[in-house]
Amino acid sequence: MKQNATQKPMRRKYNLFFRYMGFSIASVAISFLVLYLLFLLFASGNWNNQRMEIMESNALVIAEKTATLMADDVTEEDSYDTALALADTLNTVSDTIEADVFLCDAEGHLVLCRHMIDEQTHTLHNGECTTHSGFTMPDNILGKTTGSGFGTVSSLPKPFSGTRQIIGGAQILVNGMPSGYVYATATSYNILSPYSKNLTRIFVIAALISLLLMMGLSYLFAAQLVRPMEKMSRLTKQYSQGNFTERLEVRGAKEQQELAESLNEMANSLSVIEDSRKSFIANVSHELKTPMTTIGGFVDGILDGTIPQEEEKRYLGIVSSEIKRLARLVVTMLTLSKIEAGEETLHYSEADLNQLLFNALLSFESAIDEAGLQVEGFEDLPHIRAEADQELLFQVAYNLFDNAVKFSNRGGTIRVGMREEDGRALVSISNTGKGIPEEEIHRIFERFYKVDKSRSEHVKGVGLGLNLARDIVELHGGQIFAESEPGGFTSFRFWIPIHKTTDSQEA
């Protein structure tokens, strides 16, 4: 099982590597193939056009020469000399332009070509040419051939059948009268010709060199791409196991940098959550263990008679207080869970915020008296009524007063403020005391977060109260803020809409 687990990421790595390599090679090969085909099409068209122009121009020259010679013919001997001279010309031009040049009469029948000369005697054969036996130029080509020349690529009957021919022709005009035609023909460009085979060889060599270079460059690029991904894969496994010590280097392409930054931010967030989780487990364990130990000790003392009967009532009061504290902790955790899951809905009713704040403060009357705290601001509070969930909003006020009482200096002051502005109710609860360090103020509303131990070592809590207050205020469509001056004061301010909004959740 262990061997398979180690082979799996390697398989993924090589899959990615070879996919990229295969894609690059295929792209280059396809590009060369398309380029090669386009080049062949261009070369064949260009080759045919150039050959056509050459054969057409030579046909014009021979047509003019033939017309001149035919106009000078007087006797039969002159006609023979003219035919022999023309046959020599046809032979010379055919060799020069690598084409088959011949003369046809007005009906298109072949009457003279290079093959009618006896090379040994330098005389004309009698009868038809065996090479062009029975050849007649098609009417569609004859009809388009004029004294100014004509060129095309077309199929011809035997002996030219089987291949398309490049044709260049001109009409012979003797004293302005059509007397025949001169044609030069050559096989059209073929991709299997030696010329195209040489081109193919050059392209294949160039493609192989390019592919080798592409493979080298792709290997280097793919290696640079895969290497950071391997590290990301390794780090994500570490993070899944709770090890958040290592971070990625932010370098490489823009996309890689963004991915590395996102992964580092995720690791930082997970690290904070993990620290909070550990802190929460420790705090909750302590918060549950201490009152349960107290409750168990006092109940056992009452049952075994260790605690005198006249003291039972006082100790039962302590047990009741500890049970209520445990109940509040459980309710707080349940409420937070519901809000986080989106299951907590608001039950709106018209709330007297002045009375709500006063009732929440009454819960701490004994603690305020014991610490010698002064409460100011209630006498100046306006009576503001708002549409809100009274039970949850009471929890906000309770948590903020609880925080103020816990962290006020002995003999200090708690000040309450409230006003209405732009359709919102603004509430502030402040206390004198050590305050919150500037570097920690931005984390005060995080779940399970507690300020430094020296500030909170003498107070009880798991760091859920302010987080719950923020969630409830935001559930109403409002906001909450914290402000503090170390050694001076701490102030919490929040606002909620006077009237319920569509942004807040409804029952």
Residue 44: helix, strand or coil by DSSP? helix
Q: Are residues 441 and 388 in the same domain?
A: yes
Please give the pLDDT value at position 211: 77
Considering the chain, what is the average pLDDT of its residues? 81
Please report the pLDDT score of residue 507 as a whole number.
41
Does pLDDT of 457 surpass 50?
no
pLDDT, one tens digit per residue, over 476-504 is 999 999 999 988 999 999 999 998 875 55
Q: Token pair of 296, please? A: 């168990």
pLDDT in tens, 99-135: 999 999 999 998 888 888 877 767 777 666 778 888 8
pLDDT at 361 over 60: yes
The edge-to-edge listing of strands for the beta sheet with 479-485 is: 374-376, 413-421, 424-432, 489-497, 479-485
pLDDT at 10: 45
Domain range enclosing 90: 16-195
- pLDDT bracket for residue 455 (50, 70, 90): very low
Is 504 a member of any domain?
no
- The DSSP annotation for 392-406 comes to HHHHHHHHHHHHHHH
Which of 384-393, 440-449, 463-472 has the least mean pLDDT?
Answer: 440-449
On whether both 150 and 256 belong to a single domain, the answer is: no
298/417 same-domain check:
no
Q: Is 121 left (phi over 0), alpha (psi -120 to 50) or beta?
A: alpha
Q: Helical H runs in 365-486?
A: 365-371, 390-407, 453-456, 465-475
pLDDT higher than 80, residue 283: no
pLDDT at 263: 80
Using 50, 70 and 90 to split pLDDT, how confident is the model at 290? low
Assigned token pair, 142:
């004859």
pLDDT at 454: 47
What letter represents residue 152's amino acid?
A: T
Residue 506 has pLDDT above 70, yes or no: no
Asked if residue 223 is part of any domain, the answer here is no
Q: Choose the weakest-confidence range: 315-324, 327-336, 386-395.
A: 327-336
Q: Are residues 474 and 349 in the same domain?
A: yes
Q: Are residues 327 and 358 in the same domain?
A: no
Check whether residue 400 and residue 474 sit in a common domain: yes
Tell me the pLDDT band of 315, cut-offs 50, 70 and 90: confident
Q: What is the pLDDT of residue 16?
A: 62
CATH value at residue 482: 3.30.565.10
Q: Is residue 162 part of a domain?
A: yes
